[in-house]
Structure 1
Amino acid sequence: MTDLLTHLRRTRLLAILRGVPPQHVPKLIETLLGAGIELFEVALSDDLGLPGLRAARAAFGPALPLGAGTVVTPLLAWQAHQAGATFLVTPHLVPEVNAYAREQGLGLLSGAFSPGEINAAYQQGSAAVKVFPAGVLGPEYFRQLRGPYPHLPLLAVGGVDASNIRAYLDAGAVGAGIGGALTRTDWNNPDWAALGRTAADIRAQAGEPR
């Protein structure tokens, strides 16, 4: 499988599936793939997460780059690994989860906020550091970080959508994680066409994969 950082640099987008009913996860991923999005994270912040992760892995097999998000304990890290995750994503710095990812050879996108946390996340093995919540910090925060930390790959997550993704990329982020903008629909009657159009718009704003 392509190295996680290489994949992020090439595609620039990570789709975050949070609160998606497991029976709809395969169709949503198929819709996003059709719009050119290739990297996926299923958030484990509710009871839908682990079943959704299993549904995605069962539907697409081992080739799909598939992460588990909101991994805040070693137990969740283990459960995500067993469910088929190939990389782990944390909302903040969780050294125990980061250590598990290293030990198991999993990819890692560790969350961080301050410069000290960002550097620690990178030192603990994060392929790219998930700077969260990006919407509060704004693109200028990323631009300022490029001065002292030009070597640190930064992923903008939280509050990123088609209207501002270009600004984060231009400020030096290697990519962006996008959740609500890609999953906002009535899950009792999903509008797949609308979801596909939104995904294609975000893909266009990010630019084609390199």
Structure 2
Amino acid sequence: MTDLLSELRRTRILAILRGVPPQHAPRLAETLQGAGIELFEVALSDDLGLASLRAIRTAFPALTLGAGTVVTPALAQQAQDAGATFLVTPHLAPDVNAYARKQGLGLLAGALTPTEIYTAHAQGSAAVKVFPAGSLGPDYFRQLRGPYPDLPLLAVGGVDARNLSAYLQAGADGAGIGGALTRTDWTDPDWTALGRAAQKLVEAACN
């Protein structure tokens, strides 16, 4: 978990791959890596997730790769079997958090309120995924830094190249970003546009 947090703080961006067909998932990962993104989550909220996760892990054995939208221990086990080395939840899920601890997997647990955020941290989350961050904006992170100056926070939901730096300046250790990195027609992907979008985010993370 320390390694996951260190990588998050170093790279600042967690790419969230949702709805990506498995036949295109490895090339998308390669495209995003080419732009400087190194941390990846494949969301398991649809039928494509596990196959895409497996495809990326096969193509990139050493990639820091996690599974998102993990809501049950059974799904957590499937994610681990498919190659995930960390788990991401959309909400506080104590049974999933316990599974991650038992299996030695990294964890980014979802939470929103101060009570949930502290509980997620206490249950072993390397950084707490504050979701949906866009509903409350960067100032929410600024206010959280009062009582929790050192608690690692990940902003997820509504973050893009236009506001990423604002969240980082307000106290987020990094951001999980999905739509901006996967928005294309998957029957004919525009790899150049996807690469440009990734480069803009990487540049914003450095500002």
TM-score range normalised by the length of the shorter chain? over 0.9
C-alpha separation in 2, matches of 1:2 and 1:93: 20
State the secondary structure of the residue aligned to 1:50: helix
Partner of 2:8: 8
Aligned to 1:77: 76
Q: Which residue of structure 1 lines up, in the alignment, with residue 57 of structure 2? A: 57
TM-score in terms of structure 1 length: 0.97
Tell me the amino acid that sits aligned with residue 59 of structure 1.
A
Structure 2, unaligned runs of 5 or more: none
Q: Which residue pairs with 2:35 in the alignment?
A: 35
Which segments of structure 1 move beyond 6 Å, counting only runs of 4 or more?
none
Asked if 1:23 is matched to 2:15, the reply is no
Alpha-carbon distance in structure 1 between the residues aligned to 2:53 and 2:13: 19
What is the match of residue 160 of structure 2?
A: 161
- Equivalent pair of 2:2/2:126 in contact (CA under 8 Å): no
Q: TM-score, normalised by structure 2?
A: 0.99
Query: C-alpha distance in 2, partners of 1:84/1:2?
Result: 19
What percentage of aligned pairs have identical amino acids?
A: 77
Please say if residues 11 and 37 of structure 2, whose CA atoms lie closer than 8 Å, have aligned partners that are also in contact.
yes
Q: Secondary structure at the match of 2:125?
A: coil
Match of 1:183 in 2: 182
Cα distance in structure 2, aligned partners of 1:92 and 1:2: 21
For 1:132, the aligned partner's letter is: F
- 1:6, 1:194 → 2: CA distance? 29
Report the alpha carbon displacement of residue 197 of structure 1 after superposing the two structures with TM.
0.3
3-state DSSP class of the match of 1:23?
Answer: coil
Aligned to 1:113: 112
Structure 1 spans left out of the alignment, 5+ residues: none
Question: In 1, distance between residues paired with 2:19 and 2:68?
Answer: 12
- Quote the RMSD (CA, aligned, Å): 1.1
